[in-house]
Chain A
Amino acid sequence: MAMSANPDRPEESRSQEIQPEESRYEEEERLACGRLLSDVWDAWDAGRTADDPHLTACPHCSAASAELTGLGDAVRRTCAEEPGVPEATAAAVTARVMDLVRLELRPGRPLPLGEPEEDHWIVEAAAARLLRAAVDALPGVRAGSCRIAPLDPADPTGPVHVRVEVVASLDRSLPDLADAVRARIAEVTDRDIGIRLGAADVLVVDILDDEEEDEEDEDGDAYGRHGTGGAA
């Protein structure tokens, strides 16, 4: 296939962001009938070709519109015939991405395990993951953000402050649910992880849609704050 060189293609100055000619395209390309090619194509683009009798009657304008229709057909065919991304390719890319991500984890701050004199630590991201999983195991609630920090910033070996955001269903009252989440956090921090809990905040940031009963109640923005402080 013979291919004419693209006159717009900058040969050496590819990194130049500003190409002045690109903002002057309306000034060029006037068809033999006097219309601007860009106007004819804009009308075609907006589906307004039929609104202007000239565009359908004029041989130059209809030829210009037909060119774009032809290009559109080729695009549609190309999209329809695209082989699609094989599952194995997507899986391989995911695996490579995760190999790289694991080389640059963001573990967060270290948190003290057990008693202050013991000098054992757990990183925030690991503790947060355990807490989120514990919250997710409760019915009708899922955890989002989970931040854990020393309750007293001046005492990094002291008890911690947990702040967890949840999305909850409306199966039970939100205060009850917040209490259940706080109780679960207290249990897991103390018994399973071994960090001393100083305070736990539970923030309901969204309402979980019930997938079975697909009722479109517009409560998605409900933002309720329940229970500040109050370690169990």
Chain B
Amino acid sequence: MPGNGNQMTERAPEGVRSDEALLVVRAGEGDEEAFEVLVRRHSPAMLQLAMRFLGDRADAEDAVQDAFVSAWRKLPEFRRDASFHTWLHRIVTNRCLNRLRSRRPAADLDSVPEQAAPEHQASPARAVESRAAADALAAAMAGLSPEQRVCWVLREMQGLSYESIADTVGISLQAVRGRVFRARRYLTEAMSAWR
């Protein structure tokens, strides 16, 4: 289902991109105020991404915080022709992957996210049905291995191509395909049990 929540392929308008490039250069030269603008600008998308990986709000906040501090340290080596967003995305992904790996296996089934219900709903019945599907999916996702979960989220929720995922996670295209396939196989099975 390419196209779901496809934020990664959106291109910023020219003006925003050149402004961003200036901020990145300034931050790389130790201007922490420029860095603060970048953090403020990118933190909502990075928090949402981490939330999808980790399914836990506090964990997602910690991962994103670590990722930004790490980005600040690595910025002097950042290549100017690279995309800051893509670079940051990679750092957050790897932080989250490490967090998933370090979780104790027993904790996984308890880490189903507690998502607050949206405040207003057009149809309560439909909302309940949606909520149930979302909860079932969230519960099923907790059963994926860290590697499967990360690749699957990047593919199905972030809308990345297999090539971009391979680049982001730093594994082969074949390994990405295998992980997404296995995640799908597991999730379809878990979701059919729910239905």
Bound-state CA distance A84–B184 (Å) is 25
Inter-subunit contact B178/A84 (CB<8 Å): no
Bound-state CA distance A72–B192 (Å) is 13
**B14, CB-defined interface residue at 8 Å:** yes
Inter-subunit contact A8/B145 (CB<8 Å): yes
Bound-state CA distance A22–B181 (Å) is 9
- Contacts A80-B130, A143-B22; A74 near B136 (Cβ below 8 A): yes
Inter-subunit contact B29/A147 (CB<8 Å): yes
B10 to chain A minimum Cβ distance, whole angstroms, is 15
**A117, CB-defined interface residue at 8 Å:** no
Inter-subunit contact A67/B192 (CB<8 Å): yes
A215 to chain B minimum Cβ distance, whole angstroms, is 11
Beta-carbon contacts under 8 Å, B1-48 to A = 1-2, 4-5, 14-15, 18-19, 21-22, 25-26, 29-33, 35-36, 39-40, 43-44, 47-48
Inter-subunit contact A144/B178 (CB<8 Å): no
B19 to chain A minimum Cβ distance, whole angstroms, is 8
Cβ of B39: which chain A residues have Cβ within 8 Å of it?
93-94, 97-98
Closest chain A residue to B119, Cβ basis: A83
Inter-subunit contact B131/A68 (CB<8 Å): no
Beta-carbon contacts under 8 Å, A25-41 to B = 25, 29, 37-38, 41
Contact of A83 among B18, B43, B116, B184 (CB under 8 A): B116
B172 to chain A minimum Cβ distance, whole angstroms, is 8
Beta-carbon contacts under 8 Å, B155-195 to A = 156-157, 171-172, 174-175, 177-179, 181-182, 184-195
Bound-state CA distance A105–B172 (Å) is 37
Jot down 7 A-B pairs with beta carbons below 8 A, ordered by A: A74-B133, A75-B137, A78-B138, A90-B43, A97-B69, A101-B69, A146-B29
**B61, CB-defined interface residue at 8 Å:** yes
Comparing A125-133, A153-161, A175-183, A191-199, the segment that makes contact with chain B is A125-133
Beta-carbon contacts under 8 Å, B93-134 to A = 101, 105, 109, 115-116, 118, 127, 130-131, 133-134
A205 to chain B minimum Cβ distance, whole angstroms, is 9
**A15, CB-defined interface residue at 8 Å:** yes
- The list of the 7 closest CB pairs from A to B, nearest first, reads A22-B178, A106-B30, A125-B30, A72-B1, A67-B188, A78-B134, A97-B68
Residues of A within 8 A of B (CB): 1-6, 8-11, 14-15, 17, 19, 21-25, 29, 37-38, 41, 45, 67-68, 70-85, 87, 89-94, 96-98, 100-102, 104-108, 124-125, 128-129, 132, 142-147, 165, 167, 206, 208-209, 211, 216, 220
**Given A1-B136, A97-B72, 8 new contacts (CB under 8 A):** A2-B193, A3-B109, A74-B137, A78-B134, A90-B43, A93-B65, A94-B43, A132-B26
Inter-subunit contact A101/B72 (CB<8 Å): yes
B34 to chain A minimum Cβ distance, whole angstroms, is 9
Inter-subunit contact B157/A75 (CB<8 Å): yes
Cβ of B33: which chain A residues have Cβ within 8 Å of it?
129
Bound-state CA distance A77–B134 (Å) is 7
Inter-subunit contact B182/A25 (CB<8 Å): yes
Inter-subunit contact B194/A1 (CB<8 Å): yes
Bound-state CA distance A78–B141 (Å) is 12
Contact of B5 among A79, A87, A144 (CB under 8 A): A79
Inter-subunit contact A37/B134 (CB<8 Å): no
Contact of A11 among B105, B143, B148, B195 (CB under 8 A): B105
Cβ of B19: which chain A residues have Cβ within 8 Å of it?
142
**B73, CB-defined interface residue at 8 Å:** yes
